[in-house]
Chain A
Amino acid sequence: MSLSPEQVRKVAALARLELSPDQLTVMAGQLNRILDFVDQLQQVDTTGVEPMAHPIPVENVFREDAPRESLPTGEALANAPNRGGNFFAVPAVFSDE
């Protein structure tokens, strides 16, 4: 499989990254080289093999659904790039268009 600069642009949009036309070309070249290498996995016979998402058996861990101490508002907001009162301030979610 080979990625065109246009496909790379779509992936960048999904990943919320802005790449200039020059960067798209460089990125396409680098990703294609990596993908060419990774394509070797298609040759491995994995018939009947269960996918392994975790190296140890993981099961749900439950705890009591009880109120407990949490981060004070001031501390939770301390790293906010922008805040308004006790809230995170963000740009408008809907544009004017």
Chain B
Amino acid sequence: MTITDRTASELLALQAAGDVSARAITDAFLAVIREREPTVQAFVQVDEAAARQQAEAVDAKRRAGAPLGPLAGVPVAVKDVLCTRGVRTTCSSRMLADYVPPYDAHVIERLRAADAVLIGKTNLDEFAMGSSTENSAFQVTRNPWDSTRIPGGSSGGSAAAVAAREAPLSLGTDTGGSIRQPASHCGIVGVKPTYGRVSRYGLVAFANSLDQIGPFARTVTDAARLLAVIAGHDARDSTSVDQSVPAYTQSLDQPLQNLRIGIPQEFLKTGLDAEVEAAVRAALREYQAQGATLVDVTLPHAAHHAIAVYYIVATAEASSNLARYDGMHFGHRTADKGDLIATMSRSRTEGFGPEVQRRIMLGTYALSSGYYDAYYLQAMKVRRLIAEEFATAFTQCDIIASPTSPTAAFPIGEKTADPLTMYLSDIYTISANLAGIPGVSLPCGFTSNGLPIGLQLLAPPFAEERLFRSARMYEAATDWHTRRPPL
């Protein structure tokens, strides 16, 4: 088996046994990146020399007998919305094309402390706004399973990189499904942690009350490993929750007894692709074979109103967050001469792409005088109804299962002309962000075209351990995660 087909867990074991060096591992992934990037285009930046240097430092530590971190010598790709000290952080936007942060995001500090090798920054929909990674100002990332299709988004680069074996692990962010949906479309595991589980310090904000950083991996165990490294309290994010992080990987292989799986009836109705539905139902039968019981639950507000709530709440928060990009302190400033307001407006218009402008407009309108009550306030009330609905459902079941996305990956260009159609593809993922609960997407089959299908599992706040154990139950009984894209 080649190095790049190995999981992070295997790479750690191989290094510990002295069978391979961190440098050789990094070299192997860099070679795959060189070979496949012309097709996949997952990365916006790869600094080979810097990656090798980090790997050599890990090898030196090991030779010296120094203590090594939990991801020693394992390459990790990072969505380019996470600040990296001295390394450009663009958010795939012209606005930040030359922005070099003077500090590391909390999760980057954690990765460095864990002795991981930061192998590159990955492409995304500009400022994480999108479901296909087509909104990047720089490039369109391709789905490794079919290069005419989207990888999902907004963390499409991070998902495609792991699926294409360009990195064993990566980090993404999930505001309305931006980790789970690309994980589903790329046939890998993606986890959106509970809101507050991972510090957002150094994450360029899109919608603060929804954004959460999480891992991509090819296996549940690897995803758990990466979450264990980045989770935990950080005083620099006032919404970071001070609650201990369980040793996820230790309990992972213990199946849950008498697992009750809630099936939201409303999620299995209109708009669901027949092949996706069949794969998800087959996955549920596998759980039943392992002793789980299926429970009907009802999430009417989540099913019918989550997208509407989201596109008010997220755009309102975005319009406020993105007000900081005025061309004055950092980011793009127009070359045109004008007064202060004209310079700000021209800089923003030149710096932001169409989807970002659309969302700023929508959010500004929803918050504007005379419309606030009808839109933003009402959306916040329906948001509470959705959160309460989940809380009620979780009194009847331990986890909730559904498809991650109503269809497999769609062709590039199919939905770009119609923003609303693109928004509707996030139907199953968005409500978890509104409620703040954790979720995972894991591979559960393929369409007749060979495109991956994802199963979404949701759990109550801070029940990531339960999520990992239940995901592992299914993974251990299936081999979808071992398939390789035809690259």
Contacts and interface: CB of A to CB of B under 8 A. Distances in A.
Interface in B301-351: 301, 304-305, 307-309, 311-312, 319, 323, 326-333, 337-341, 343-346, 348-349
A46 B365 contact: no
B358 A30 contact: yes
B99 interface: yes
Given A11-B361, A31-B358, A46 B305 contact: no
Interface stretch (B24-32, B57-65, B383-391, B470-478): B383-391
A56 B196 contact: yes
A81 B330 contact: yes
B292 interface: no
Interface size range of chain A in the complex: 35 or more
Nearest to A47: B381
B419 A34 contact: yes
Contacts of A66: none
Interface in A29-65: 30-31, 33-35, 37-38, 40-42, 44, 46, 49-56, 58, 61, 63
Interface in A1-36: 1, 3, 8, 11-12, 14-19, 27, 30-31, 33-35
B100 interface: yes
Contacts of B330: 79-81
Contacts of B345: 16-18
Contacts of B374: 1, 42
B43 interface: no
B364 A44 contact: no
A55 B382 contact: no
A55 B435 contact: yes
B229 interface: no
A8 B364 CA distance: 10
Contacts of B319: 15
A58 B304 CA distance: 27
Query: Which of A11, A27, A31, A38 has the most chain B CB within a 10 Å cutoff?
Result: A38
Query: Which of A53, A55, A82 has the most chain B CB within a 10 Å cutoff?
Result: A55
A42 B309 CA distance: 11
B364 A15 contact: yes
A91 B339 contact: yes
Given A34-B419, A37-B420, A71-B102, A79 B361 contact: no
A72 to B, nearest CB: 9
Contact of A16 (B326, B383, B387): B326
Interface size range of chain B in the complex: 35 or more
A44 B420 contact: no
B436 interface: yes
Contacts of B103: 71
Given A54-B209, A56-B241, A78-B100, A41 B379 contact: yes
Given A3-B365, A55-B195, A15 B340 contact: no
Interface in B354-408: 357-358, 360-362, 364-365, 368, 371, 374-375, 377-385, 387
B209 to A, nearest CB: 5
Contact of A31 (B365, B433, B436): B365
A61 B358 CA distance: 34
A41 B309 contact: yes
A40 B311 CA distance: 12
B255 interface: no
B8 interface: no
Contact of B99 (A30, A52, A61, A79): A79
A79 B239 CA distance: 28
B312 A38 contact: yes
B49 interface: no
B53 interface: no
Nearest to B322: A15
Contacts of A1: 371, 374
Contacts of B344: 16
8 contacts: A18-B349, A30-B419, A31-B362, A35-B362, A40-B305, A51-B384, A61-B235, A79-B329
Given A56-B461, A58-B238, A79-B331, 20 more contacts: A1-B371, A15-B361, A16-B344, A18-B345, A31-B365, A34-B423, A38-B312, A41-B375, A46-B385, A52-B384, A53-B380, A55-B210, A55-B433, A56-B436, A58-B239, A78-B102, A79-B99, A81-B327, A81-B330, A91-B339
- Lowest 4 A-B CB distances belong to which pairs? A55-B436, A51-B380, A81-B333, A79-B330
